Amino acid sequence: MSKDININVHHVARVEGHGNIVIDVQSGELKKVELQIVESPRFFEAMLRGRRFPEAPQITSRICGICAVGHTTASLRALEDALGIEPSEQTLLLRKAVLEAEIMQSHVLHYYFLVAPDFFSVPSVIPLAASHPDVVKRALRMKKLADDIVTIIAGRHPHPISMVVDGFTHIPTEAQLRDALKQLKTMLSDDVPPTLDLFASLKFPAFERKTDYVALKHPDEYAYYDGIIHSTETGETRHRDYKNKVKEEVVLHSTAKQAKGPFRPYMVGALSRFNINSDQLMPAAKAAAQKLGLAAPNYNPYLISAAQVVESVHNIERMIYLIEELLRRGLKDETVERQTIAGWSAKLPPVKKCWGVGAVEVPRGVLFHEYRIDDDGLLSWANCVIPTGQNLANIEDDMRALVPTILDRPQEEITLLLEMLVRAYDPCISCSVHMLKVDFV
Amino acid sequence: MSKPKVGFFSFTSCEGCQLVVLSMADKLFDLLGAVEVVNFREASSYKGEDYDVAIVEGALSTVHEIEEIRAIRQQAKILIALGACAHIGGINCIRNFDNQFEIKKSVYGDKVANFDSILAQPIDAVVKVDYYSRGCPPNRDGEEFVEIVTAILQGKKPYIPNFPVCVQCKMKGNVCTFHKERPITCLGPVTRAGCSAHCPSYGNACIGCRGLVEEPNLNAHQETLSGAGLTVEESLKFYRMLNGMMEVGK
């Protein structure tokens, strides 16, 4: 069949940031597939140059309003990697809890507010508030609890306040944690089952394309905070060697750099993590995967949303575990004994020239921050590699594989399927256009 | 005013301000009853161009964005700048003090000519802004945003404090960050209140996200910062984290 199709979706809606989809088919032959990124450049790496090192988490948090805790965590881990600082057990538990909370709020926002409207054939969650108020109220309740947990631990969401180098400037009270624990347990018993019922009833588009799946992997837990870089195609890479796996290049249709693996584009995010680490999920999350018919490995990118539903159940269970552990140990104010370093401590501690890398799983996949620090404690160089940047080339490959199989359908349906594909990846475009400093070859 | 039509627009930013609005949960339901949202790309695929009220987040940092904000201003009867990027340029203005060509070249190399980027500036550097909902992010439960929208609906003037963060910080009983065992320098003495001194209450410093109070005592603050060990250059850098635009006459 020979057919001409010209699709140009200007500013894909219900994604974070500004992106266009451009497809050109002439006489049944696919000529052009582009996910154009038209977000304004941000130049975060340039902003960091010459700033005091403890400012890095505060500045890079502002890369993204959805995964601000993720950027803060990656930033702190890069600084601590460089400075040789090992935070306390309590700090690790608190950081892990707040990261789980942020991943959950991002996933809930994505699958309920940004993906679900497609399945109800409405343009947004706003008409759903009238037609399905129970669904929207449940979504808001789940998102609010996650936001509240970030708030009691880190001060607010987005842009955490109390997360600083080597600890927290403020510790939640045990009463606040006990209250959060109670609400988490209620959520697991009351809000999770109807969420699973809803998403088990949705029919995700059928499409499969095996790619390289990349995520952190850790021997003790489903990796978010810490781990080795694992690829289903190329094996393992240490976090400090991330550039062996990630190579960024400028493409003219994107203000965000595309990052690709040494051999071909790869996928990061919830489905990659699920494919690599699903045996480490908590029990209710494993049951949720079964209910949604999701088994590893899965090669359908539309099911990233289903993997997010599964992960959000895991996030709730992990927060319950982490908070119970914190309460069992008893919380103490460590700011007295440890040299926590807030952004504008009047005096910087003495620092020797050093560099470090932080690799952390954030809602959309693995995030890298790399910094060089000078003898005077100022940042001399910075690089941030964002999950969405890593996914862009893979999304284009998916579109290249998908379009020829759906050419016989009406143009509106092709457009919707492509928009749904892009949305499934949950692209965080303002994040990816933070502008990377790389060497050109 | 009958049920006004509202459009949300986003320029150079992290888009966190829109998320704060989405996170207002219960209040959001009340607000949705009082207004009609016709454009909210982050949350909706419906695009209407018939808005009366434009709510704008983000700074302006490309030629294209300047054209867009002019078009939005022409359509909107009321324009609200939401968050620090829209209000004072925010974090985006840090780079204004570097060599722009060098920055672009360091990122895009020999492809630099293909990318549109100018100095970052707040919305009111280009068009008139009617209301400012301040902060990075706007305070969490959206009190000030709700205050502004409610005031517009009722035809009243919203209440926005014009005293420094220190006042609210004292009322909360916080130990002054300058007087802690390990002092943290703070922009609270010159920054407009309205945040309940949220950052000092969480053990960190005010970084000035709500912009400066009217007629701030900058000389006294500089003395305090010097006393705490910051050089003049370091003090400027501290201000420039979010308030770089004040130096060019904002």
Q: What is the pLDDT of residues B94-143, one digit of tens each?
A: 999 988 888 887 777 777 776 778 899 999 999 999 999 999 999 766 78
Contact list in A for residue B22 (CB cut-off 8 A) is 109, 113
Closest partner residue to A344 (CB to CB) among B45, B136, B238 is B238
Q: Do A170 and B202 touch (CB under 8 A)?
A: yes
CATH code where residue A415 lies:
1.10.645.10
Domain encompassing residue A24: 5-37
Average pLDDT of A203-207?
94
Q: Which two tokens stand for residue B210?
A: 């709500």
Q: Are residues A277 and A360 in the same domain?
A: yes
Q: Do B61 and A64 touch (CB under 8 A)?
A: no
- Distance separating alpha carbons of residues A254 and B19, to the nearest angstrom: 24
pLDDT bin (cut points 50, 70, 90) of residue A15 is: low
Q: Dihedral sign, CA of A346, A349, A352, A353?
A: negative
Residue A267 inside a domain? The answer is yes
Q: Are residues A9 and A100 in the same domain?
A: no
Tell me if residue B91 falls in helix, strand or coil: helix
Q: Do A14 and B203 touch (CB under 8 A)?
A: no
- Looking at the structure of chain A, the number of domains it has is 2
Residue A438 inside a domain? The answer is no
- B92, B66 in Cβ contact below 8 A? no
Question: CA of B222, closest CA in chain A: separation in Å?
Answer: 13
Q: Are residues A27 and A73 in the same domain?
A: no
Q: Are residues A321 and A240 in the same domain?
A: yes
The pLDDT mean for chain A works out to: 89
Q: Are residues A348 and A372 in the same domain?
A: yes
Closest partner residue to B117 (CB to CB) among A41, A51, A436 is A41
pLDDT bin (cut points 50, 70, 90) of residue A291 is: very high
Most confident of the following: A85-99, A233-247, A336-350, A418-432: A85-99
| Residue A428 known to bind ligand | yes
Q: Do A141 and B25 touch (CB under 8 A)?
A: yes
pLDDT bin (cut points 50, 70, 90) of residue A2 is: low
* Cis bond upstream, residue A404 (ω within 30): no
Query: Is the pLDDT reported for residue A381 higher than 50?
Result: yes
pLDDT bin (cut points 50, 70, 90) of residue A312 is: very high
Contact list in B for residue A151 (CB cut-off 8 A) is 140
Q: Are residues A65 and A19 in the same domain?
A: no
Closest partner residue to B43 (CB to CB) among A18, A113, A344 is A113
- B97, B244 in Cβ contact below 8 A? yes
Q: Do A346 and B22 touch (CB under 8 A)?
A: no
How confident is the model at residue B242, as a pLDDT? 95
How confident is the model at residue A434, as a pLDDT? 40
Contact list in B for residue A10 (CB cut-off 8 A) is none
Q: Do B137 and A158 touch (CB under 8 A)?
A: yes
Q: Are residues A15 and A63 in the same domain?
A: no
Q: Are residues A24 and A106 in the same domain?
A: no
Residue A94 inside a domain? The answer is yes
Residue A236 inside a domain? The answer is yes
Residue A437 inside a domain? The answer is no
Q: Which of A143, A188, A140 is nearest to A318 (CA)?
A: A188
Q: Are residues A345 and A211 in the same domain?
A: yes
Closest partner residue to B198 (CB to CB) among A143, A155, A437 is A155
Structural domains in chain B, CATH included, are 5-154 (3.40.50.700), 165-248 (no CATH)
Residue A441 inside a domain? The answer is no
Q: Which of A66-75, A224-233, A314-323, B16-25 has the lowest mean pLDDT?
A: B16-25
Q: Do B137 and A156 touch (CB under 8 A)?
A: yes
- Which of the two residues, B4 and A209, has the higher pLDDT score? A209
Q: Are residues A68 and A19 in the same domain?
A: no
Q: Are residues A61 and A24 in the same domain?
A: no
Beta-carbon pairs below 8 A across chains A and B: 198
Average pLDDT of B15-25?
82
Q: Are residues A11 and A49 in the same domain?
A: no
Tell me if residue B199 falls in helix, strand or coil: helix
